[in-house]
Amino acid sequence: MAKNHTTHEDRELLRAAKAKEDFTKTDPWRVLRIQGEFVEGFDTLSKVGPAVAIFGSSQFNKESPYYQAAAKTAETLSRAGLAIITGGGPGIMEAANWGAHRAGGISVGCNIDLPNEQEPNPYQTIELHFRYFFVRKMMFIKYSVAFIIFPGGFGTMDELFESLTLVQTGKIKHFPVVLFGLRYWRKFLQWMQNCMLREGCICDDDLSLCTITDDPEQAAQIIIENSKRHGYI
């Protein structure tokens, strides 16, 4: 699949159509392109075995404690026999791919075309490129047995809330969601309790859908033990 595009496909898909547009830019034609992304993603990732998706900001460099923790966590998971899947870019994504790579494990990058072009990191043993966010997000969910969420921005929060929604509604089962970084996530969890729970928007059980830790070994072991319990490894 081509890596660089002058048109960003998500933006084209979501904009309102104009009259008398070229057939190749209309929705029926676009469906074939979307189908192709699903087929390529399914065909490639169906062979990797159980995986863990690791998310977080692209802004952290190698000196960041979060970068080092993500690399260590991914390395531990890889040595236990789990593949690592990231968004394929810099920061936490690079750290997780690096950790898997140095452990000799499967290191997957699901790269996305963005208006400000994302540079794929060099630690991917399997590299995929997507035009559409929703196709890419399907790959993370379908081929992962857990998510680890490091500090990040809107994209990271998007993945977090999607996973919590799918667990809450029973669409995915036996799926740990681990938040890494007590200082970063503490007020977020307090807000969930003080606002969402207090207003009746969620229930007490929903607060237990994610686990928070500052320890890379603990983050990995939560997922390794769950994976053994349910026969993934």
pLDDT for residue 19: 60
Q: Is 93 within the bounds of a domain? A: yes
With a cut of 60, say whether residue 67 has pLDDT above it: yes
* Helix ranges, the chain (H): 9-14, 27-45, 65-79, 92-102, 133-142, 154-168, 182-191, 216-229
**85: its two tokens:** 């899947």
Residue 82: inside a domain, yes or no? yes
Residue 3 inside a domain? The answer is no
pLDDT per residue over 44-57, tens digit each?
A: 999 999 999 999 99
The predicted-structure confidence for 156-208, as pLDDT tens digits, reads as follows 999 999 999 999 999 999 999 999 999 999 999 999 999 999 999 999 999 99
Q: pLDDT value at position 9?
A: 73
Identify the pLDDT of residue 221.
Answer: 98
Q: Domain holding 35: CATH number?
A: 3.40.50.450
- The domain of 209 spans 9-229
- As for how many domains the chain has, the answer is 1
- How far is residue 105 CA from its own chain's centroid? 18
Output the six-digit token pair for 179: 């938040």
The verdict on residue 2 lying in a domain is no
Rounded to two decimals, the pTM is 0.89
SS (H, E, C) 72-88: HHHHHHHHCCCEEEECC
Cα(66)–Cα(95) distance, rounded to whole angstroms? 9
Is residue 3 predicted with pLDDT exceeding 60?
Answer: no
Q: Domain for residue 20, yes or no?
A: yes
pLDDT in tens, 222-232: 999 999 999 99
- Residue 147: exposure state from Cβ atoms within 10 A (0-12, 13-18, ≥19): buried
Joined together, the tokens standing for residue 181 give 């970084």
Q: What is the pLDDT of residue 10?
A: 72
| Mean pLDDT, all residues of the chain | 92
Q: What is the mean pLDDT of residues 98-114?
A: 96
